[in-house]
Structure 1
Amino acid sequence: PFAERGALPAPSGDAPTARVLDIEEAPRQALAVELREGHLFVFLPPVADLDLAIELIHAVEGAAGAIGIPVVLEGYSLPGDPRIHTLSVTPDPGVIEVNVAPSATWEQLRETTSTLYEQARQTRLTTEKFDVDGTHIGTGGGNHFTLGGATAADSPVLRRPDLLRSLITYWQHHPALSYVFAGRFIGPTSQAPRVDEGRFETLYELEIAFAEMERVARESGPDGAAPSWIVDRLLRHLLTDLVGNTHRSEFCIDKLFSPDSERGRLGLLELRGFEMPPHPQMALVQALLVRALVARFWQEPYAAPLVRWGPRLHDRFLLPAFAAADLRDVIGELNEWLSREAPSGAPVALFDESWVDPFLEFRFPRLGEMDVSGVRLELRGAIEPWHVLGEEAASGGTTRYVDSSVERVQVAASGLVEGRHVVTCNGIPVPLTASGSGSLGTGQSGLGGGPGTFVAGVRYRAWAPWSALHPTIGVHSPLVFDLVDRWNNRSLGGFTYHVVHPGGRAYADYPVNAVAAQSRRAARFHRHGHTSGVVDTSTWPSLESLLGPPGTEFPCTLDLRRFSPGNPPPRDTDAAAG
């Protein structure tokens, strides 16, 4: 990949006549030609040199033109080379995978993205899906970003290894970058786990690796860059998933500078924590954010101690309020850097916060809202990690299922009177926590909130598959939310949320469009069904039983699985006030 290359050879005249060689001198690659159904199928052999491969293709083209028979090329693809641009369309389980050519400018990237989406639409392909219950989701296909240069030697990640460290550290500091743009399948057993998900000692080892990068860079000379192979050896075994797969990680360096193979030394860094968004402008916003952060860290390397999030990682940042607040911090820091870099008196093109609103609404859809006695209640979808289960016997071998039976929602309340109002779900108080001040473009309580806004997450068993964690726990649907008046021990009102249509499985087919999907989602939220009569607050569980030992593990989330009928929690006369 680092070899000097001249211009590609221009097509010459007629191909030279083939020569008959002795068996000892003949090449070991064979060109297989077969006439089938009126087409000439040519099976290309593996060729390592692009110049020779082009000559071979030219010879095939000339021969096909001479005999007037259409040709279908098969076999091995042309060797990778920075002098050619490729676009590959590959069938993948459930999706069509398209690998586009690199873009050197923003105009090229915009043209490529817009054209790809339009061509897919005209081919009756889509970049979104709808569940039977109306949930709007992505296709499940990735929208991975590959960072590199026109050649391997031009790669900014190889020229400046500290850029890789800056990206890894910044993503670790801002979990919203890992969760807002990802698909539904996240967590330590997903296809793009964060560096701090899974093995708890990874951050400790990563800090040692970063220190070694600095030491080697200081000893390498005046340029202050560590050798590329050192960077690969230091980080390769840390940027993996739980079982050591280097390709299934949020930051994949398989093709950065691996000594193992030529295709592994392309100077490429792959960011895998992005899902295909439903609209081309959303895809461009993702790319713009990544490009802007790369430009920022090229000018100002980002080095800071790694954060031990622990349970807070999933307890807080899987909820829309905290994810939106974290994303707001990213945009604010980026705009501050843009303002500093702009020449004095020059207009500054800032990253508009409203550009990420579609991602927040798509990732955390509003399920319903209502006003109760001056208190605003809102229910939004949240993120729930689905873990891979243990191996089980299946026809033809073993299989590992994913536990998708648990889901999570966020309830937001504004206008609460301290000491009087308590929000409950299925009769259990939810541990409300103050959200960040302000909102992220939308001005809505569930996305960032404002002064006086409190949020909480609720985990619940949505359905009962035959293989899942805790099979003895039943389904918690419907979820009944009440606003309880502690002064009078009565429910002032509330709403009911159904996981499926309240009349049962009323739909046999998937929604045909977004309007039909929205109507199905609206049918599962009812502004009635709250608890009536006197509420016996003396039976409420204690705060310790709500949060679990030692009482602070998941302070923002109520897990209804801990309150199954067969395992009632300890009671306390003092109800949890949230």
Structure 2
Amino acid sequence: MAIHVALNHVTKYRYKKRVSLGPQIVRLRPAPHSRTPILSYSLKITPENHFINWQQDPQGNYLARLSFPEKTESFEVAVDLTANMSVINPFDFFLEETAEHFPFRYEPWLKKELEPFLEAHQPSSAFSEYIKQFTADKTPTIDYLVSMIRSLNQDIRYLVRMESGVQSPEETLTRRSGSCRDSAWLLVQMLRHKGLAARFVSGYLIQLKPDVKSLDGPSGTDKDFTDLHAWAEVYLPGAGWIGLDPTSGLLTGEGHIPLVATPEPFSAAPISGMVEPCEVDFSHDMQIVRFHEDPRVTKPYTDTQWNGILNLGKKVDADLIRDDVRLTIGGEPTFVSADNMEGAQWNTEALGEEKFKLSETLFKKLKARWTSGSLIYSGQGKWYPGEPLPRWVMACYWRKDGIPVWKNDALLADPTSKSAFTTADAKKFMDHLVAGLGLHETYIATGYEDIFYYLWREKRLPANLDPSDAKLKDVLESGRLASLFENKLGEPAGYALPLSNDGSVRSIEWKSCEWVFKTNHMYLVAGDSPMGLRMPLDSLLWSKEEDQIKTYENDPFSQTGKIRFHPDDLKTAPVSSVKSPKKTEVLKGKSAKEMIRTALCVEQRTGRIHIFLPPVSEIEEYLDLIARIEKTASELDMPVVIEGYAPPHDARVQNFKITPDPGVIEVNVAPVNNWDEMVEQTVSLYEEAHYSRLGTEKFMLDGKHSGTGGGNHVVLGGETPEQSPFLRRPDLLASVITYWQNHPSLSYLFSGVFIGPTS
């Protein structure tokens, strides 16, 4: 994936009169040891009446010696070259075993050949004091060199210095500032004083604007840029000359094109020579232009191609509107870690600590970018065979009409943060919420862990092991037992409120009932899932089918008009008076009527208050409960985690979710009905994923790119069932399927490496 660039460098001298030029030496041709491939090179000299002789100096650098037989009013040097900017790994070299650790000694014959590059100047006290910090004893050579150039990068402030010549190392250290050539010469002397052969290098520096901003450190230039630059090279046995750039604190890469490498800076000047005394106007200009770019992951399309895609999308949009198709498009893009793509959780396993943390980071960024007044829901998702617990799901819900579902984000607790709330705080929250609902506190059912079951489990353990012992086969079970025994089994685990709407959507009226158990206490089903999933519902009073209060999913065809609930309604509504509790009668063999079997639960887990919401039929009921919970959380200053049942599906409420899948995380985005929204959604999603340290690529063993390995599904439909083009025209679905079958190239286009049942 190469980028080819064209560099143009023009140097002009304009004299006030016609002058005689002595021989001029031009050192502006890439040196033989340049690792960046030079595709073409040309040197144009003005005046045209001149003689040119190409030479190589004692170090092998290319020199152009120019002779001018006539006087001239101008002297111009124009360099044009093209280079292949393929990425170069600066650490791609081997060292001789004797040179792997510093200090080391050169072989006598090699040291003799390197003598010009070992000649060190007489050090000053300031210089000697500075290099004391670089004393090493069997330090890896690469680490030693990196620490040296990083120190110079941090200690010497870079500045553009237009004066000719190079500062002495002492002057640079005293001023703590200098140009690139000053830092390079200082580094050369430091290396020589440490017994390392080093040389001064002058060359071109090409910096290209990155496709995406860096996640680690500075992103570099904001536009393509080139200039003359200077750095140092050190000779390492086995590796040869290795470039070190103290200005950036990095080893040299594809952007460093050496022109001249010499023992002393004066013999590395780009242009040197004699001219008779005369006033002169000097100028130079450097430009860099990309003329070829291979498609790559970070920039698969040129700007022209991308604009063509955008225009085509708008044309398709216009066709869909004209033909009244009413199509919506959603999707399920997948992502992997940008740093740990070879880890098990990014290849085979569905769950992992890093996966959860990165998902949470992305979730927060998307919530802030896509939504306003939204609700964070932390629930349980799919449960697959062989997995001990259902997978987690992070979901965000917001209303299309812009009315907030949840106003104050500070009252939504971070599911991973540590808090110090207790079970007593959970009881306080429940009491306050129940009073706000106009219900009596006697309806609250206190839940306990099943002490008899856990005592039985503990008795079955080997006599020489305790519940917390890691030697137990079932790690989850051992951790569960240890936690329960530490937290005292006899204390309440949480609180449940049987809850159902006794009114209509327009006038919600919550009702409750008393739960009666044979044991006089509500013992939860064994496990460590949320309390709401472990309630002993089969121990409630028996009811006939026709006597049971049931929650039915709302008819999606009835979801029309505005949502008939606004959070401000609670402010204007009269304060509900607490009704007298109704005692539940226990009649042997008789069906219990009005027995509510769904409940809202409040419990403390790891210091956080968790609210488990019951299932409801209408979105208005759910929003009413959420508003009351937020009101209670605000009055008590208790941030909460919302879990349990998600809101009932309603086309007037949008959502996005992040869930784990084997090897990836999956983002379920909200469907959109026009091209501009889809472009904004897609671009913003991948931007935020990048800044969350998530990527969309992996590498095969041979270095080839591959996708995440996830499904990356596209979801087609309509805003509501009656608007779905596939329900309005069932033949359309058959047409899509048969078109795909009749054009197998589409399968090859989207399948990646595999085709068929293994994909």
When normalised by structure 2's length, the TM-score is: 0.24
TM (normalized to structure 1)?
0.31
Greater RCO, 1 or 2 (C-alpha within 8 Å, sep 6+): 2
Q: Which has the larger radius of gyration?
A: 2
